Structures are given as structure tokens and as C-alpha cells.
Amino acid sequence: MQAVAGAAWWLGVLLSPFIREATLGSLDAVVVAILDIPLFVGASALAAFGLRPAAIVGTAWTILVTLALALFATITSEAGWGVLLMVGASCGSVLALSLMLLGRVPTEWMLIGPFAFRPANSSAAATTHVAVTALQILAFWGLFLGVFPLVVTFFERRWELSVPFPSIAVPVGVVVFVLASALGLWSAAAMSTRGNGTPLPAAMPNRLVIAGPYRFVRNPMAMAGIVQGAAVGLMLSSWLVVVYAVAGSLVWNYVVRPLEEADLESRFGDAYRRYRSAVRCWCPRCRVRQLG
């Protein structure tokens, strides 16, 4: 797929001045093609036939081009759409290389450091867990809902990728952000006061929490964070921040959630299995089933 997509893009570059300018800017297409066609299109095609060295070369080249093109776009405000295409190609290359070399995508590698699953100190007081949770919220909300969206918005505008938003987007974003934050705080309060721990992986609860919003949906904090991210995108009038929030939801659902649920099942056994069967992952239930 990557080889075909790369060949189609190069055909578009040769035939369409619009595609050439949007993705390469003032770069000499011929010079880039001399390197990219064999190292990206050709290497991807060879990798499709099982040649591991070609997959390694293609992935390394793709990442290098992505970084170089991002630097070029930041300096010149050209080729912004090319950067986005190459970011997608880099992600695809890394995933494909993982499948080829390891036979799987090692998602557990992402859960290291502060993201590794560790139970909280069970002897700590509830007030300690509440205080730690408050600090975690300040740090993670500040980083993922403040710093990262501002960085994304900066590059979106620098690379001239912005699109106009309706004037109502900002007030709608504010309202949605407040509501989602309320859900996040409610979830954090339930987890830290009833779970003998915190909501985050580095200090996970020691008791299974099925109170508060957890009665209606299994991942209320994740839901709140995803909606908060989209709301920040509306407030900043940044479609890339909205995409960032959607990408975060995919990472959570397909990388973090399966590992977290496996950890919960190993620690809480039948109690968690009953809870998982009674409460949906993302769609809240208006009527709560008995979990006893």
C-alpha cells in the first residue's frame, strides 16, 4: 500500500503543479525524486516481498525525510501538506517494520516511566491520594490540553494549514470543555476517594471503583480527556488539534485500554469481569445493572 501510494503521489507531483507546490514547495522535485523513488517507493515495494533490509532502509529514509521536510516547512512556511503526508507514512512504516521484525506491534513499550502500571501505596491516607491526583491532573491537563495543542496550533499556522472556523466554534468549545472537565474531576474524585489510589497508571487504585461516573461507563476519564482535547481544538480554531484528540482516542482504545483491562482483570478477577460485562466501555448506560 505504501509503495502504491508513494508512486501515485509522485505521479501527482509530476502532473499537477498544485500537488507539487502543496507538498514540496520550492524544493526541486527532480532532485527529491532521484532519492525518494528508490529509497521510499522501491524500498516499500521490496519490503512487501519480505525483504527486511529494504523495510529498515525505507523506514529510516521515511523518518529522515519527515524530519527534514518539517524543518524546511517551519523555516519557509512551504510544503506543510507534504509534512502531514510524511508523518502518516512514517507511522505506517514503523508499524509495518514492527510487524515484519517482531510479528506484532509492541504496544507495551509505550507504557514506561510514569505511564507504567503500578498500584498506589495502599497504606497512604485518602487525602494523600486526593492531593496526588490533583497534582497529576494539573500536570497532565497542562501538558496534553495546554502545551501540546499550542505546539500543534503553532505548526498548523506556520505550515499554512489553517482552515476557517465559524465564529460560534470558540464559545461552543468553552462550554464543551467545562462540561468535559467536570466529568473528569468527578471521575478523579471517585477514583481517589474510593479506590485507595489515583486514576493514572503510575499509582493505580487498589480497589475496584464502580461508583460515581464509573457506574455508567468504564472509561469516564478517558472520555473526558478526548472531549476536552476536541474542545481545545474548537477554542483554538485548530482542526489539527481536533485530529490530535481523535488520534489520542485511537491510541487509548487500541494501545492503553487492552493493557489496562488485562491488568485490572489480573488484580480484581471475577469482580472486574462482572463489572466489564455490566458496564459499557464508551457508551454510557442510563440504567445501571446490579454488579453484585
Asked whether residue 138 falls in the same domain as residue 88, the answer is: no
d(CA 133, CA 120): 11
Select from 105, 126, 144 the last residue of a domain.
105
Residue 155 covered by a domain: yes
- Give the per-residue pLDDT at 45: 95
Asked whether residue 273 falls in the same domain as residue 137, the answer is: yes
Asked whether residue 77 falls in the same domain as residue 162, the answer is: no
Range of the domain at 121: 113-278
Asked whether residue 135 falls in the same domain as residue 271, the answer is: yes
Residue 287 covered by a domain: no
Asked whether residue 123 falls in the same domain as residue 263, the answer is: yes
Find all residues with CB under 8 Å of 22, minimum gap 6, and list them.
Answer: 79, 80, 81, 82
Beta bridge mates, 204? 119
Q: How many folded domains does the chain comprise? A: 2
Select from 54, 80, 105 the last residue of a domain.
105
Asked whether residue 269 falls in the same domain as residue 130, the answer is: yes
Residue 202 covered by a domain: yes
Residue 263 covered by a domain: yes
| CA nearest neighbour of 78 among 33, 28, 31, 21 | 21
Asked whether residue 100 falls in the same domain as residue 239, the answer is: no
Select from 51, 71, 105 the last residue of a domain.
105
Asked whether residue 55 falls in the same domain as residue 119, the answer is: no
Residue 288 covered by a domain: no
Within 13 A of 214's CA, how many CA atoms are on the CB side?
19
| CA nearest neighbour of 69 among 86, 57, 54 | 86
Residue 80 covered by a domain: yes
Residue 66 covered by a domain: yes
CATH of residue 250: 1.20.120.1630
Asked whether residue 164 falls in the same domain as residue 227, the answer is: yes
Structure confidence by residue, pLDDT tens digits, 201-242? 778 889 999 999 999 999 999 999 999 999 999 999 999 999
What is the pLDDT tens value at each position of the chain, 292 positions in all? Answer: 899 999 999 999 999 999 999 999 999 999 999 999 999 999 999 999 989 999 999 999 999 999 999 999 999 999 999 999 999 999 999 999 999 999 988 887 777 776 778 888 888 888 888 998 899 899 999 999 999 999 999 999 999 999 999 999 999 999 999 999 999 999 999 988 988 888 887 788 899 999 999 999 999 999 999 999 999 999 999 999 999 999 999 999 998 899 889 989 999 999 999 999 999 988 887 655 555 4
pTM of the model: 0.89
Asked whether residue 29 falls in the same domain as residue 170, the answer is: no
d(CA 34, CA 108): 38
Asked whether residue 25 falls in the same domain as residue 156, the answer is: no
Residue 286 covered by a domain: no
- Give the per-residue pLDDT at 285: 76
Asked whether residue 12 falls in the same domain as residue 52, the answer is: yes
Is the distance from CB of 248 to CB of 160 less than 8 angstroms? Answer: no
d(CA 42, CA 44): 5
